[in-house]
Amino acid sequence: MQHGINGAKFIRTLRNLSKDKSIYITRADKGRAVVILDREDYVSKMNLIINDQSTFQLEDTDPTIKQEDRLIRKLGKLKETGFINEDEYKRCRPTGSQLARIYGLPKIHKRDFPLRPILSASAREETYE
Protein backbone atom coordinates (compact mmCIF):
# COMPACT_ATOMS: atom_id res chain seq x y z
CA MET A 1 0.00 0.00 0.00
CA GLN A 2 1.32 3.42 -0.96
CA HIS A 3 0.44 6.64 0.86
CA GLY A 4 0.65 9.72 -1.34
CA ILE A 5 4.32 9.67 -2.34
CA ASN A 6 6.07 7.92 -5.17
CA GLY A 7 8.19 5.06 -3.75
CA ALA A 8 11.25 5.76 -5.91
CA LYS A 9 11.07 9.49 -5.15
CA PHE A 10 10.80 8.71 -1.42
CA ILE A 11 13.89 6.48 -1.52
CA ARG A 12 15.82 9.11 -3.51
CA THR A 13 14.85 11.78 -0.98
CA LEU A 14 15.96 9.59 1.95
CA ARG A 15 19.29 8.89 0.24
CA ASN A 16 19.88 12.61 -0.25
CA LEU A 17 18.90 13.35 3.36
CA SER A 18 21.21 10.61 4.64
CA LYS A 19 24.18 12.63 3.36
CA ASP A 20 23.36 15.36 5.90
CA LYS A 21 25.41 14.45 8.99
CA SER A 22 23.38 16.81 11.22
CA ILE A 23 20.36 14.50 11.07
CA TYR A 24 19.71 10.90 12.03
CA ILE A 25 17.23 8.83 10.02
CA THR A 26 15.61 5.79 11.61
CA ARG A 27 12.31 3.99 11.95
CA ALA A 28 9.78 4.58 14.70
CA ASP A 29 9.43 2.30 17.70
CA LYS A 30 5.91 1.35 16.60
CA GLY A 31 4.39 1.45 13.17
CA ARG A 32 6.11 1.82 9.85
CA ALA A 33 7.06 5.49 10.04
CA VAL A 34 10.40 6.93 9.00
CA VAL A 35 11.68 9.42 11.57
CA ILE A 36 14.23 12.19 11.01
CA LEU A 37 15.90 13.45 14.18
CA ASP A 38 18.48 16.09 14.98
CA ARG A 39 21.67 14.04 15.43
CA GLU A 40 22.81 16.00 18.50
CA ASP A 41 19.42 15.41 20.17
CA TYR A 42 19.61 11.69 19.34
CA VAL A 43 23.16 11.38 20.71
CA SER A 44 22.19 13.28 23.86
CA LYS A 45 19.21 10.97 24.49
CA MET A 46 21.33 7.86 23.85
CA ASN A 47 24.02 9.11 26.23
CA LEU A 48 21.40 9.52 28.96
CA ILE A 49 20.30 5.92 28.37
CA ILE A 50 23.73 4.30 28.32
CA ASN A 51 25.03 6.34 31.25
CA ASP A 52 22.21 5.09 33.50
CA GLN A 53 24.22 2.98 35.96
CA SER A 54 21.10 1.17 37.17
CA THR A 55 20.71 -0.29 33.68
CA PHE A 56 24.18 -0.49 32.14
CA GLN A 57 27.62 -1.22 33.55
CA LEU A 58 30.85 0.13 32.09
CA GLU A 59 33.40 -2.60 31.32
CA ASP A 60 37.11 -1.97 30.83
CA THR A 61 37.44 -4.75 28.26
CA ASP A 62 35.17 -6.57 25.84
CA PRO A 63 34.35 -9.93 27.48
CA THR A 64 33.04 -11.43 24.23
CA ILE A 65 36.25 -13.11 23.03
CA LYS A 66 37.13 -14.37 26.51
CA GLN A 67 33.67 -15.97 26.83
CA GLU A 68 33.96 -17.46 23.34
CA ASP A 69 37.37 -19.00 24.19
CA ARG A 70 36.01 -20.40 27.46
CA LEU A 71 33.09 -22.05 25.65
CA ILE A 72 35.40 -23.50 22.98
CA ARG A 73 37.61 -25.05 25.69
CA LYS A 74 34.57 -26.59 27.43
CA LEU A 75 33.25 -27.97 24.15
CA GLY A 76 36.72 -29.39 23.42
CA LYS A 77 36.68 -31.24 26.74
CA LEU A 78 33.22 -32.63 25.98
CA LYS A 79 34.50 -33.84 22.59
CA GLU A 80 37.63 -35.40 24.13
CA THR A 81 35.56 -37.34 26.66
CA GLY A 82 33.22 -38.59 23.95
CA PHE A 83 30.20 -36.75 25.31
CA ILE A 84 29.77 -35.01 21.94
CA ASN A 85 31.07 -36.02 18.52
CA GLU A 86 33.01 -33.93 15.98
CA ASP A 87 29.87 -32.81 14.09
CA GLU A 88 28.18 -31.67 17.31
CA TYR A 89 31.36 -29.87 18.33
CA LYS A 90 31.52 -28.02 14.99
CA ARG A 91 27.82 -27.07 15.17
CA CYS A 92 28.11 -25.74 18.74
CA ARG A 93 31.50 -24.05 18.43
CA PRO A 94 31.07 -20.26 18.26
CA THR A 95 32.92 -18.29 15.59
CA GLY A 96 33.02 -14.58 14.94
CA SER A 97 31.28 -13.51 18.12
CA GLN A 98 30.84 -9.79 18.55
CA LEU A 99 29.69 -7.43 21.23
CA ALA A 100 26.01 -6.45 21.16
CA ARG A 101 25.22 -3.01 19.72
CA ILE A 102 22.77 -0.46 21.07
CA TYR A 103 20.59 2.00 19.20
CA GLY A 104 17.39 3.84 20.01
CA LEU A 105 14.04 3.92 18.27
CA PRO A 106 11.94 7.04 18.88
CA LYS A 107 8.54 6.61 20.51
CA ILE A 108 6.71 9.03 18.23
CA HIS A 109 3.42 8.54 20.09
CA LYS A 110 4.93 10.14 23.23
CA ARG A 111 5.85 13.73 24.03
CA ASP A 112 9.48 14.72 23.22
CA PHE A 113 10.00 11.40 21.40
CA PRO A 114 11.86 9.39 24.06
CA LEU A 115 14.02 6.58 22.69
CA ARG A 116 13.44 2.88 23.25
CA PRO A 117 16.88 1.29 23.60
CA ILE A 118 17.43 -1.78 21.44
CA LEU A 119 20.33 -4.16 22.13
CA SER A 120 21.16 -6.15 19.02
CA ALA A 121 23.72 -8.82 18.31
CA SER A 122 23.08 -8.45 14.59
CA ALA A 123 25.73 -6.55 12.65
CA ARG A 124 23.09 -5.36 10.17
CA GLU A 125 21.17 -3.20 12.63
CA GLU A 126 21.69 0.53 12.85
CA THR A 127 23.94 1.41 15.77
CA TYR A 128 24.87 4.22 18.08
CA GLU A 129 28.62 4.78 18.27
pLDDT at 20: 92
CA angle 80, 86, 92 (to 5 degrees): 95
Name 71's Cβ contacts closer than 8 Å, sequence gap at least 6. 93, 94
pLDDT tens-digit series, residues 69-123: 999 999 999 999 999 999 999 999 998 888 888 999 999 999 999 999 998 876 5
pLDDT at 1: 45
Whether 50 contacts 127, CB under 8 Å: no
Name 49's Cβ contacts closer than 8 Å, sequence gap at least 6. 55, 56, 102, 104, 115, 117
pTM over 0.95: no
Whether 40 contacts 21, CB under 8 Å: no
Q: Is the pLDDT of residue 129 over 50?
A: no
- Of 99, 76, 97, 101, give the one whose Cα is nearest residue 88: 76
Dihedrals phi, psi of 37, to nearest 5 degrees: -120, 155
